[in-house]
Amino acid sequence: MRRFAPFLVIALVAAAVYYGVWSGGFLRDDFPVITENPWITSPAYIPEIFTSSLWGFYEGDFITGESNYYRPVMHLLLMGSYALFKTSPAGYHAVNLVFHILNAFLVFLIASALLSQKEGEGKWPFLLPLGAALFFALHPANAEPVVWVAAIGELSYTFFFLAAFYLFIQSRKERGSLFYALPVSVYVVALFSKETATVLAPLFFLYCLAEGRLFVQALRRGAPYLAAAALFVLIRSGIVGPLNAEHSMGGFQYLLSMVTLSAQYAEKLVFPFGIKLYYPFHAPSSFSDILSHELGVLVLLAVGAAIWVWKSSSRRTVLFFLLWISMALAPPILMVKYIQGEWVFASRYLYFSIAGFAILAAFGLSRISRKGAAIVLFAIALLPFAFESARAKGFWIDEFSFWKKAASDAPMSPTTHASLGVVYAEKEMYPEAISEYERAIEIAPDSAGVYSNLGVVYYKTRETDKAILMLEKALSLSKDASRAAGLHAKLGAMYLEKGLTDRALFHLEQAVASGQGDARLYNFLGVALAGSGRYKEAYAAFSEALKIDPQNAMAQKNLNRLSQGGAGD
């Protein structure tokens, strides 16, 4: 029983802090990847999942442009959840929490293996590894991937990598091909869970060096993992192609951007309080733009780490975990050139690094001669961590809570205000929606989508003239053909309602020519054509509406009236 006690403690503590998370709903990417994702509904889609990009299934306007992500395991996990829970959010939230607890278990096992090598068994061998696991389980920066369903990729790649790494450590105690092949196989699953696992392949080789093995021996042990990562890169590149959509930033800006992001991640790694839901990113252009307390933290950490490596008798182990932390953060930092929009920094990208940081902290505290003091230091961090994580989870309950907090975190971000406006509109809180949309336009006056949403709200509040003005502005700014077609359709219907037949006809014909083709649109087009005396064309439009939807009563009524000499309505 004593052997399983640490696992029970980890599970109970994590479940207590995240209690009630399963009562939350879907938000942000959850909707397209779960409620609008045909791939997760049947195993028949598995070939498509493995031969397409992450967003290959999606045909809406949530994602624009080509996706460079390739994460088939994410769809397979969601497929399993869908089979059990359909579109009920509770089950998906429970799955995320279970993954998080399992990852904490693996942190405990890896820390135990490391400390038993360095320290021997001792009287209470599980206390420091347990502290590391709880440090990881309660770290407030982990609230985002635990509570946000769509972050399952972060949780799963961490799980499979940690499992592979633990099996790799254990394999040196065993003999036989199975013990060498199993961790490699599990690592391959990590690769197909998230691309970040690719840059972590050297950790197996580096761990062997940290153990004191010769370079050739370490390379031989790490070679299968490096080869698996290289093969994955070839497969991924053949399916989704090279990275694209670079920011238009010069080399100096790119360097400053990487320093800025490194400082932000370093600060939230060691002081994870007051974490925001939204960090709008604007590429710095001078040294003065990057001066901040986060940069000070980064410098202090870099100096402290250098001194620790220099002074420590176990510098190889310390250096290994410092590389663990930095290598896991390298992709989101280096990829700043390829991430469009404001959403560049996110606390979920710290998830794997926190696992390494927790084990490193346990190792560092194990150097203290009085182990009781080490345990107290861990406990001092864990209590505020638990309260902060419990507080942070509350902002991820639903779209309203999330975007209201995000708008408060980033008051100068047009994205947060526009998104909060959408939530208010869905709740039919139209004055509040108008206020948020107007604030977004004030910050970014060239957003076609916000003007369009504002126009729709004005129409719902029966302010048709304002609605038309906003939609015309949206149309003038729109660079997307599909969105422009939708705007033409809306404007055509509104002008028709106001009796401006010529204007209505222009927009309705543009919508049809652009590929819009629902029964309601053809009915409106028929009415406008009839109003302009083009009866033969109107007859064809009403007939097309009925061909699309034979039960469309309005189109049938208008067709009958036209046949009897009326103009339709």
Supply the pLDDT for residue 63. Answer: 54
pTM of the model: 0.86
DSSP, res 514: T
Q: Where residue 187 falls among pLDDT bands split at 50, 70, 90? A: very high
Rounded-to-10 torsion of CA 553, 555, 561, 567: 140
Amino acid at 490: K
Residue 482 has pLDDT above 80, yes or no: no
Task: Tell me the pLDDT tens digit for each residue of 287-346.
Answer: 777 777 777 877 888 887 788 777 776 778 889 999 999 999 998 888 877 765 667 788
Closest to 169 (Cα-Cα) out of 206, 143, 140 = 206
Name every residue whose Cβ is closer than 8 Å to that of residue 42 and which is 6 or more positions away in sequence.
79
Residue 417 has pLDDT above 90, yes or no: yes
Supply the pLDDT for residue 121. Answer: 45
DSSP, res 566: -
Distance between CA atoms of residues 329 and 324, nearest Å? 9
**Angle of helix 177-191 versus helix 215-240 axis, rounded to 10:** 40
Rounded-to-10 torsion of CA 371, 374, 376, 378: -140
With beta carbons less than 8 A apart as the criterion, state whether 328 and 202 touch: no
Give the C-alpha distances (Å, rounded to integers) separating 124 from 120, 363, 366, 369, 561.
11, 15, 12, 14, 89
Least confident of 124-128, 161-165, 260-264, 329-333: 124-128
